[in-house]
Amino acid sequence: MPDTTQPSANRWPPQIKYIIGNEACERFSYYGIRSIMAGYITGQVVAGGLGQDKDRATEIIHMFVSANYFMPLLGAWLSDKLIGRYHTILWVSLVYCLGNGVLACSGLAGDVHGKMLCLATGLGLIALGSGGIKPCVSAFMGDQFKPEQSHLLQKAYGAFYWSINFGSFFSFLVIPWIKDESGYAIAFGVPGVLMALATLIFWLGTKYYTRKPTNRELKHAGFFKVFWHAFQNADEFKATALLNIFTTIGLPVVAVVLMATLSFTTLNDAANQILGWSALVAIGLWYLLVVVLSVLRKMELPDAFWAKAAPRHDEKEIASARSFTPILFMFAFVPIFWTLFDQTNSTWVLQGQQMVTFKFGETYLIKLLLPNWSVVAIGSGILLQLVFSILLFRRFSSRTVPSISAGFQILFVVISLIVSSLFTWFMFYLPKVDIGAEQMQSMNPLIVMGLVPLLTLLVYPRIGRFAAPLKRMSCGMFLAGGSYLVVAALQQRIEHGAHLCVLWQTVPYLVLTTAEVLFSTTGLEFAFREAAADLKSTIVSFFLLTTTVGDLFVVTVTKLFGAGSHEASVSTGRFMQYAGMTFVVAVLFSLVAAFYQYHDKAAAQGK
């Protein structure tokens, strides 16, 4: 049978390159700032730092990240209700650029108080910008594909996720190096330039973009409207409905408000203790109700309740609304993962500063080749370009794959030349490169870029229903807890006087990054596949909001169990505490997952 598919159906829309380029530059900017933040806050004042203690640095970093992941609610509201995804990304990106500018000017503030004010203002604007565009960019990319191009989405999102890690990988290497060579002002300025470039790249694709109407224009009813109309007309199940909403929305809101109040206000120790313990009690009650209602199979409200909304809503709107709260039941256990993962930019960096820097120039092989190192560097760049050329030739000469436009071929050649040139430049400087605590953060995106294709293409297809999203997430949570056992073991050695090389952190990075691929990327997949079409943006925003809860929890634990030393954030006991809590939550997550009923039956089979 001849292939009747239109050639354009097998090609990416031309505007995708602008979105992917924008994402790579934006992630370079964001993670470039995070890569040096811990060192900046705790660094000596005479060296340009702020001279704060480790606990204070941990609090500031996790308050920033929590604000960053709270703002997707604002971004989703703007894009879905008011101005659409394109205008949200463009205008909020300008706020992002302004935040970078304020942060870069902190060196002009003079004293520590002025620098702290610049830090707070800059990070606040960056959180608004980065968080505001976060739920829009990936959805906007999906909007560019026509229905007949849906088979291209998997590879497109793979490239999108790759660009995130590509940008973050180089930011973790380059920005700390710039800081060491030129100081914090220039190091914070470079991410600002990259964010301006990201905005420019996105704007250049303006005339090509497909823009979808907002939900307000389509007049879609959301969850709360459908729920309220069903509740008003219900003769029974009102108590069950209220308990369901209290469990999935009410208690989490109470916990977040308590933790945010503790995090963003300056109170005395007694008030901190009251707020902190109140937040922990709210979280405990939240988890208790989630487990009990799940075991009693009360995740989803009964048909009789939702039928009461039928006079005012069609079947599609009711089906969308009833799928909402069961997903939130599973999201209840997600924050603990972010509690652990986001400490790679705070407590893990602070631990790495207590370890011995790895120097490439002192390795045996480089010492042996150093007299002819120019030849090695140039030869490495030529070899890499040769690999690109072979891939280019095989891809474009193949008859089994769709043809690619000449413009895209030229773009590929230009990118390969740039990458090869950058690699050659890097090889020239390799003997002088030191891997310290800040550079070790690049280990995460480096491992991700290898693990994602390995797991997606080789492992998941071979394990069948064991690759179901919630099972993968459960494994990821247990692995995350295990990574903190390794970190605790390293910290114990350091506390006993051992001089460990910072490369020892590769072990927990490998474990935690494997957990990230199993848990985080799968969590987004779970959210997309289980959410109704008109609720996908909302569900993704709630998934991102779990990061806010997780980072606020770090601040809460830090303030509640500071032990008066201001150094307890980086200690064997604290790392063991996080590991223990994660293992408990992982058991609860696995229990509740066993009672979850998939709406996407293929997902339940691991397909």
- Say if CB 392 and CB 342 are below 8 A apart: no
Please check whether residues 568 and 476 belong to one and the same domain.
yes
Structure tokens, 267: 């109170």
- Is residue 30 situated within a structural domain? yes
Identify whether residues 468 and 600 lie together within a single domain: yes
Same domain, 349 and 272: no
CA 585 to chain centre: 20
Domain that holds residue 65: 15-210
- Residues present in the chain in total: 607
| Residue 565 burial by Cβ neighbours in a 10 Å radius (0-12, 13-18, 19+) | exposed
Distance CA 97, CA 198 (A): 10
Picking from 179, 210, 241, the residue at the C-terminal end of a domain is: 210
Helix (H) or strand (E) holding 435: strand 434-435
Q: Is residue 559 part of a domain?
A: yes
- Find, among 182, 166, 205, 177, the residue nearest to 16 by Cα: 205
Same domain, 179 and 261: no
> Amino acid identity, residue 537?
S
The answer to whether 112 and 53 have CB atoms below 8 angstroms apart is no
CA distance linking residue 305 with residue 235, whole number of Å: 8
For residue 136, give the amino acid letter. Answer: C
Do residues 444 and 513 touch, judged by C-beta distance below 8 A?
Answer: yes
- Could you give the maximum distance between any two Cα atoms of the chain, in Å? 86
Amino acid in position 522: T
Q: Give one word for 283, left, alpha or beta, with left for phi > 0 and alpha for psi -120 to 50.
A: alpha
Assess whether 163 and 238 both reside in one domain: no
Tally the domains of the chain. 4
Q: Does 198 fall in a domain? A: yes
- End-of-domain residue from the set 415, 435, 455: 435
| Distance (Å) of CA 414 to CA 17, 25, 407, 449 | 13, 17, 11, 22
Q: At what angle do helices 536-560 and 572-593 cross, to 10 degrees?
A: 150
Same domain, 429 and 470: no
Query: What is the distance between the alpha carbons of residues 287 and 319, in angstroms, rounded to a whole number?
Result: 26
Q: pLDDT of 92-151, one tens digit each?
A: 889 889 988 888 887 777 778 888 888 888 888 998 888 888 777 877 877 777 767 665
Could you tell me if 459 and 569 lie in one domain? yes
Q: Does residue 107 fall inside a structural domain?
A: yes
Are residues 338 and 366 part of one domain?
no
Q: What local confidence, expressed as pLDDT, does residue 7 receive?
A: 45
How many other CB atoms are there within 10 angstroms of residue 490's CB atom? 23
Shared-domain flag, residues 570 and 448: yes
Of 249, 283, 221, 318, the C-alpha closest to 542 is 249
- Chain CA centroid to CA 247, Å: 25
Whether residue 183 is contained in a domain is answered as: yes
Residue 358's DSSP bridge partners are 435
Assign residue 513 the CATH number of its domain: 1.20.1250.20
Q: Residues 6 or more apart from 465 whose CB is under 8 A from it?
A: 471, 604, 605, 606
Compute the half-sphere exposure of residue 516: CA atoms within 13 Å on the CB side of its CA: 26
Q: Are residues 156 and 77 in the same domain?
A: yes
Would you state the torsion angle of the CA atoms of residues 453, 25, 57, 438, taken in this order, to the nearest 10 degrees? 60
Helix (H, G, I), strand (E, B) or coil at 374: helix
Whether the CB-CB separation of 223 and 324 falls below 8 Å is answered with: yes
- State if pTM tops 0.85: no
Question: What was the pLDDT predicted at 139?
Answer: 74
Q: Which parts of the chain sit beneath pLDDT 50?
A: 1-7, 399-402, 606
Residue 104, judged by CB atoms within 10 A of its CB (0-12, 13-18, 19+), counts as: buried
**Residue 550 within any structural domain of the chain:** yes
pLDDT of 385: 76
Last residue of a domain, one of 210, 232, 257: 210
For helices 469-495 and 572-593, give the axis angle rounded to 10 degrees: 170
User: Are residues 340 and 241 part of one domain?
Assistant: no
Note whether residue 393 is domain-resident.
Answer: yes
Indicate whether 276 and 418 sit together in one domain. Answer: no
What does residue 312 show for φ and ψ, rounded to 5 degrees?
Answer: -115, -10
Within a domain: 8: no
